[in-house]
Amino acid sequence: MPTDTAMAFHAEGVTKVYADGLRANDALDLRIAPGEVFGLLGPNGAGKSTLVKQIIGLLKPTEGTLRIGEHDLVAHPEIARQLCSYLPQAQMPIDSFKAAEAIELTGRIRGGDRATVRARTDALLEALDITQWRDELGMKLSGGVKRLVGFAMATVLPGRLVILDEPTNDVDPLRRRLLWEQVRRLGDEGCAVMLVTHNVLEAEKSVDRLAVIMDGKIVAEGTPSALKAADRGQLRLQVMLSPGVETPESPEWVRHPVRVGNNLVATIDEDAASAGIDWAVGLMGQGTAEEYALGATTLEDVYIRLTGHASANGEDEA
């Protein structure tokens, strides 16, 4: 499909104030071009799903505009539902559907003809390595497989904008990789993809651009390498603390220390590398730490610096 820049997705000044007064989105501006995979990152409660639900017409923006090309998605939710396809963060209602049946039926509802939809369903089942469950009822599927079936439902006949709200939740690392490949492919075929995820390291490999959102505001936006540019000349110091110890005081030059479980992650200047090693070795000598690692900074470190949070699955493939 030719990339058709006239059909880019635009959000301008999108603000959502819930009935209880909570400002979940605060004047968000975004643009996603056809063919672009755009990552939306941010800690729990940042307002990611709120944004997504306004695009697909589940919520109405308090202020602001959402468009795909000339189409006003806020004024015409019925057009939004045709132009966008959507994988919600919540479970899919497919307990009584067989996996392949759910995917095919979604394709038919989205206006696909039988042959195309069937071929695409088989291809997706194969590509995600879930063919063995094609005739299994949704209620019997494991969480991860159900998620993958949901992904296939959302992309069997993708819209101009494909919205994926945490597609890799519960999915094992190998199939997660297969899923990212399919996401990449959607972009290659001209879809604009909005990808909500907590998995910073995996997102880094798959997205063209990303935005980090915090308390309803965008705190950073750009390509992964542009976002990492600010961290040039920095190193990541990771200290594995002994179970149960209190987080040790860190010297001033150890920046943005964040503890997740027993893992303490921080950034230091390249110049401070040997001081960092000495500090970590000292902690090990006191029995406070068990091991350490010093390496290049990743998008994860940028994310931690911006949000003060570690990303959800960022470490579990390391």
User: What are the residues binding ligand ATP (CB under 6 A)?
Assistant: 18, 20, 22, 24, 42, 44-50, 89
Q: How far is the CB of 139 from another protein (least distance, A)?
A: 7
Residue 190's binding partner among another protein, Mg ion, ligand ATP, none (Cβ under 5 to 8 angstroms by kind) is another protein
Residue whose CB is less far from another protein, 9 or 97 = 97
Binding segment for another protein among 23-31, 37-45, 186-194, 235-243 (CB under 8 A)? 186-194
Q: How far is the CB of 187 from Mg ion (least distance, A)?
A: 22
Which tokens is 65 given? 């505009």
Residue 42's binding partner among Mg ion, another protein, ligand ATP, none (Cβ under 5 to 8 angstroms by kind) is ligand ATP
Residue whose CB is less far from ligand ATP, 21 or 244 = 21
CA distance 192 to 156: 15
Contact between 291 and another protein by CB under 8 A: the answer reads: no
Residue 186's binding partner among ligand ATP, another protein, Mg ion, none (Cβ under 5 to 8 angstroms by kind) is another protein
- Which of 89, 238, 262, 263 is close enough to bind Mg ion by CB under 5 A? 89
For residue 283, the one-letter residue type is L
Residue whose CB is less far from another protein, 115 or 232 = 115
Question: 99-109 and 143-155 are packed helices; what angle lies between their axes, rounded to 10 degrees?
Answer: 20
Q: How far is the CB of 49 from Mg ion (least distance, A)?
A: 3
State phi, psi for 74 to the nearest 5 degrees: -75, -40
Which residues fall within 8 angstroms of residue 49, CB to CB, at 6 or more apart? 89, 165, 196
Strands of 71-116 (E only): list them: 71-72, 84-87
Output 301-305 pairs: Cβ under 8 A, ≥24 positions apart: 301/231, 301/234, 301/236, 301/256, 301/265, 301/267, 302/220, 302/227, 302/228, 302/230, 302/231, 303/41, 303/200, 303/212, 304/256, 304/258, 304/265, 305/231, 305/255, 305/256, 305/267
Nearest one of 221, 243, 217 to 230, comparing CA atoms: 221
Which residues fall within 8 angstroms of residue 172, CB to CB, at 6 or more apart? 144
Contact between 209 and another protein by CB under 8 A: the answer reads: no
Which residues fall within 8 angstroms of residue 315, CB to CB, at 6 or more apart? 260, 263
Q: How far is the CB of 248 from ligand ATP (least distance, A)?
A: 30
CA distance 164 to 93: 16
Show the site string, 54-83: x = touches another protein by CB under 8 A, - = not.
--xxxxx----------------xxx-xxx
Residue 291's binding partner among ligand ATP, Mg ion, another protein, none (Cβ under 5 to 8 angstroms by kind) is none
Residue whose CB is less far from another protein, 126 or 135 = 126
The DSSP letter of residue 162 is E
Q: How far is the CB of 43 from Mg ion (least distance, A)?
A: 10
Query: Interface residues for another protein in 21-50 (CB under 8 A)?
Result: none
CA distance 308 to 310: 7
Q: What residues pair up with 163 in beta bridges, in sequence order?
A: 86, 194
Contact between 120 and another protein by CB under 8 A: the answer reads: yes
Contact between 141 and another protein by CB under 8 A: the answer reads: no
Binding segment for another protein among 39-47, 188-196, 243-251, 273-281 (CB under 8 A)? 188-196
- Residue ranges that bind Mg ion, judged by CB under 5 A: 48-49, 89
